[in-house]
Amino acid sequence: MNMKERFIKALKGEEVDKVPVVSVTQTAIVELMDKTGAAWPEAHSDAQKMADLAMASHTECGLEGVRAPYCLTVLAEAMGCTVNMGTKNRQPSVTDHPYPKGVENLQMPENLLAQGRIPVVLETMKILRAKLGDEVPLIAGMEGPVTLASDLASVKKFMKWSIKDQEAFQTILDFSCDACIQYANALVEAGADVISVPDPVASPDLLAPETFGTILKPVLQRFADGVNAPMILHVCGDVSPILEMMADCHFTSISIEEKVKDLKGAKAKVAGKVTICGNVSSPFTLLSGDEAKVKADSKRALEDGVDVLAPGCGIAPDTPCSNIRAMVAARDEFFA
C-alpha cells in the first residue's frame, strides 16, 4: 500500500496497514525555505518555488503527502480583496474588502480562474502531480465559503449581518460557495487528490453553534456535494459544540485541534459519518515542545483512534523540522 492509497483509504475510514502521518493544513517552515531557496513571500506567487517548498515537507520531514498553497487568501484576492503578502514567517492576510457596504453589487469576476494567484496555484498542482506520480497524495488547500464570505464583506460586517440582516448573510455565503466550488474543481482537474478546507470563521468562537446548524451547514453541504474529490473540513478552536454538525456537512473527513480535549469521545460522536485528522498541537507541541513531547502527544492521538495523524492546525513557520520528523517517528514506533 503506497502513501496515496493509504491516505485516501484512511480518509474514507477503510482499513489501512498503519495510520498515515500528513499535514492537511499549512506546511511551510522557515528551515525548509532556507534549504530550498523557496521562501515566503515569493513562494506564494511563483509556481516553481511554491512546488519546491511544498515538496520539502515530504522529502526532508517525511510527511506522507504534499500540500499547497500556504495561505487562505488566494480566492479572496481573485475576487477583489486586497492582500498583504506577509513576510518570511508571516502568512498573507486580507486588508481590504470589496463588499463592506452590502450585497447589492455582488459580481463574480469574469473568468475567475484566470484572476490573481489562481493560475500560479493551478500550475503548482500540475508541477507537483508530475513529480509525485501515483505514489504520494497531493493535497490542495483553500479557504472555505464562510471565511471567504467574511473576507469579501469584512469580518465586522459579516458578523453584524449574521444577527441583523440574515438575507445579506445568506446571499454572500451562497455567492462565496459558488466561487469555492469552481476553484476546488479546478484544483482537482489540475491534479489534486484531496481538497483541504480550513474555514476558521465557522468556529463557535466567532459564530453561534445555532448559526452553524441552520445556515452554515447547508452551505458547506452544497460545497462538498459540488466537488469531485474527497474533502477535509478544518474549523479552528474547540469545535465540540458543532462536532456532530460538522460530521453532517458531507465532507469525507474533519480536522480538529488539540482544543477538542476528548478525541476518543469525538471519534464516537462522528462514527460512521466522517473520519478525524489531527490533533497534535501546532503551537504548544510542534512549535515549542521538544521531540519527546511530540512523540508522546502523537502516540496519545494514535491510541485515541485518530484516523490521520496530523498537526491540529497549520504548522507555525518557525517550527523545527526535527519536531515534524519526530511526529513521523512516533507513528513508526507505534506501529512497529
**Rounded Cα–Cα distance for residues 274 and 255 (Å):** 10
CB-side neighbour CA atoms (13 Å) of 27: 31
Q: How does DSSP assign 37-82, residue by residue?
A: T--TTGGGT-HHHHHHHHHHHHHTT--SSEEE---S-HHHHHTT-E
Do residues 83 and 93 lie in contact, with contact meaning Cβ atoms separated by under 8 Å? yes
Q: Is there a cis peptide before residue 41, judged by omega within 30 degrees of 0? A: yes
| Structure confidence at residue 75 (pLDDT) | 98
Q: What is the pLDDT of residues 228-271, one digit of tens each?
A: 999 999 999 999 999 999 999 999 999 999 999 999 999 999 99
Residues forming a β-bridge with 159: none
**Which residues in 29-42 are b (16+ Cβ under 10 Å) and which e?**
bbbbbeebebbbbe
Do residues 234 and 24 lie in contact, with contact meaning Cβ atoms separated by under 8 Å? yes
DSSP for residue 316? P
Do residues 272 and 294 lie in contact, with contact meaning Cβ atoms separated by under 8 Å? no
- Cα–Cα distance list, 268 to 13, 53, 79, 163, 271 (Å): 13, 37, 39, 33, 5
| Structure confidence at residue 222 (pLDDT) | 98
Of 306, 177, 186, nearest in space to 249 by CA: 177
Of 336, 308, 309, nearest in space to 324 by CA: 309
Write out residues in the chain with pLDDT < 70, as ranges: none
**Rounded Cα–Cα distance for residues 76 and 113 (Å):** 12
| Structure confidence at residue 184 (pLDDT) | 98
Residues 285, 288, 289: CA angle, nearest 5 degrees:
50
